[in-house]
Structure 1
């Protein structure tokens, strides 16, 4: 159930982003129906009303889905932060055969005595 809500929430979010980006910053809407193609599909005012209503519906769906997911996820086990975990063990050594010599650890690179300055 949670996966279905999450996917639906993703689609609503992408649609909301698209609708908001289609609107003009002055509130004029997309402006379809002016002298820029599509003829008399909708007036500029009708487009603004349609985009405004669509934005409101998508925003409401966004909030309802977010609240539904929060309520469904409330009873699940709490997961801590990855920063709360203790550090893992170092690189584990491979098991060696009895009587075989253990492989030598790689040597650390030597640090330069003085910092080097690149020349051009």
Structure 2
């Protein structure tokens, strides 16, 4: 069911993009221009504009439906539940395992300089 709604949602998005691009430019941004007549009058709504509103409404409905599906799929689970499988630690006082904790820290240090000392990694002031 979720896949069907997702496909419909994608088709609505593509249709909405196409219909918006087909509409006539009313001229002037921010409400300026757009034809003659009294300042407060609005032009008659074209069938293309009505179809755009219908597509936009259907797009919002499918968006909300997909959000509900996602909420139902994630209910009852937490990201913390996925970190460690249940029963992986035998006692409460055991230290948590950290990825890479078994690495030898000396192998991560830079090689010693020519005189044998290990200089700190600081940039030189030239």
TM-score of the superposed pair, with normalisation by structure 1: 0.47
The TM-score with structure 2 as length reference comes to 0.45
